[in-house]
Amino acid sequence: MPNLYYLNSLFDLELGGFSTGSVMQAAAEMTTLFVPVARAGDYVLLDVRVPDEYWAYLSLCGIECPTPVRGDERIEGLHAVAWGYNEQSASRLAKLGATCRHPDLSVVRMVNSRLYSQRLCAELGLGVRGAEALETLDSVERALASREHFPAVIKPAFGNAGYGFMVKESKELSEGERARLEEILRTCGTVTVEPWLERVLDISSRCDIAPDGTVGGMSHHVCHANAAGTFFAILLDPADSSVAHWRAELGEAGTRVAAALHRDGYFGPACFDSFVWRDAQGEEQLSAVVEINARHAISTVAYALRDHLAAASACYLRLIGRRRHELPDTYRDLKKILGADSFRRSTRRGVVLVTPLRVAHNGHWQQPSRSAFFIAAPSAEETLRIDERLRTKLCAR
């Protein structure tokens, strides 16, 4: 049965009940990121118009293109694949005629909460030591007052990594911080407070939990995030010794968490965020499974692109905001700008622009809010050098 893919990137915010009006356009554009995950014969639901040249460009790069679906076009006989299942995505996909197989939606919401993650990790001896889940402003203030070491970070129960994080350098809350916390607690019920540690390396694990509890496809990779904890890139490196050093511990932790997720009624894709940090003695420590995402993640896109284009290579998938780069009008011009760094199927090396050059909202064509670039090279070091040249070339125009 062909698949109908839908990347509903508002999943986490919708679970938390947050306002999404300001990010609706960006979320619509991100539906194109599921294009390389699909195969020929599949379908992808897009919330934005893309030019015909986009499909031709991806095909020339070696990506099998699915059939785009827009609006309320109903197509029977499809199996739905959502980024994450909630009431909004399940309802929309069902109206299109696709068959949705997912856990109970109340279970999906529960296991995607940081409250669940904190409690489960405390039970299993995982996560960040000293993390607390709190439900009132008074309890947050008491938790801060009792802390001896700072910084600390306050995280809402739902949201993407970095979204709504509040880093505290002291025990006291300002009036503005109190107002923000009151709104977060009203919206999604709880926050977690935990130490803000000196991160050395961010690692993410991914797997798929079958309805019978079988765990497959467990893999681990490096993620790159900014100082605020917001993700911007994934590095897939077959020769990465830094991940290899922690692979056994990460695999054991991921398997235990996956078993607990299935025990509590969840099946489907799951991703676990971990990090390596440096303690006061300068020793590196692993905090395994600090976040649980019971849904797809950007790693789904990165691995699909690697399998399509450069299975034996080091690969880098990075996002760049519109303010930080300028795209040309045509793919021919893009290839000229990239020069020798433009992707070649013969060498399996170079840059592929995964998202379109332009998208249309209500008939107006514009550069997307964020662009995704996939880079393949023989080594991780070379992918990063190509990435630096890419940003220089696109930012200097």
pLDDT of residue 74: 87
How do the residues of the chain divide into helix, strand and coil, expressed in percent and rounded to 5? 40, 30, 35
Question: 375 and 230 in contact (C-beta within 8 Å)?
Answer: no
pLDDT of residue 162: 74
Q: Are residues 285 and 360 in the same domain?
A: no
In a domain, 122, yes or no: no
Mean per-residue pLDDT over the chain, rounded: 95
In the chain, where does DSSP find H-type helix?
Answer: 11-16, 24-30, 52-61, 87-95, 105-111, 114-124, 137-146, 175-188, 241-263, 298-309, 331-338, 380-395
Tell how many helices (H) and how many strands (E) occur in the chain: 12, 18
Distance CA 288, CA 273 (A): 7
pLDDT more than 70, % of the chain = 99
Name the CA dihedral angle for 6, 17, 288, 153, rounded to a multiple of 10 degrees: 140
Q: Which domain CATH number covers 267?
A: 3.30.470.20
Q: Are residues 222 and 135 in the same domain?
A: no
pLDDT of residue 396: 55
Q: Which domain CATH number covers 169?
A: 3.30.1490.20
- Counted domains in the chain: 3
Q: Are residues 186 and 206 in the same domain?
A: no
Task: Give the chain's end-to-end CA distance (angstroms, integer).
Answer: 46
In a domain, 144, yes or no: yes
**Based on the number of CB atoms within 10 Å of its own CB, is 390 exposed (0-12), middle (13-18) or buried (19 or more)?**
buried
Q: Are residues 286 and 365 in the same domain?
A: no
Q: Are residues 254 and 306 in the same domain?
A: no
**Domain end residue (candidates: 175, 195, 215):** 195
Question: 133 and 114 in contact (C-beta within 8 Å)?
Answer: yes
pLDDT digits (tens, 9 = 90+) for 109-125: 999 999 999 999 999 99
pTM: 0.95
Q: Are residues 159 and 229 in the same domain?
A: no
**Based on the number of CB atoms within 10 Å of its own CB, is 103 exposed (0-12), middle (13-18) or buried (19 or more)?**
buried
Tell me which DSSP letter residue 238 carries. Answer: T
Question: 236 and 301 in contact (C-beta within 8 Å)?
Answer: no
In a domain, 120, yes or no: no
**Domain end residue (candidates: 150, 174, 195):** 195
pLDDT digits (tens, 9 = 90+) for 386-396: 999 999 999 85
In a domain, 371, yes or no: yes
Token couple for 147: 């802390």
In a domain, 270, yes or no: yes
In a domain, 372, yes or no: yes
Question: How many of the other CB atoms lie within 10 Å of CB of 149?
Answer: 9
**Domain end residue (candidates: 254, 269, 294):** 294
Residue 350's DSSP bridge partners are: 376
Q: Are residues 243 and 309 in the same domain?
A: no
Domain extent at residue 284: 198-294
Q: Are residues 254 and 162 in the same domain?
A: no
pLDDT of residue 397: 54
Strand order, beta sheet including 284-293 = 284-293, 268-278, 199-209, 215-225, 231-236, 314-321, 370-377, 350-353
Strand order, beta sheet including 132-134 = 132-134, 191-195, 152-156, 166-168
Q: Are residues 351 and 332 in the same domain?
A: yes
Q: Are residues 227 and 285 in the same domain?
A: yes
Q: Are residues 274 and 305 in the same domain?
A: no
- The low-confidence residues of the chain, meaning pLDDT below 50, are none
Q: Are residues 213 and 285 in the same domain?
A: yes
Among all chains, which residue has been given the structure tokens 């356009």?
25
In a domain, 113, yes or no: no
In a domain, 315, yes or no: yes
pLDDT of residue 19: 87
pLDDT of residue 73: 82
pLDDT of residue 3: 97
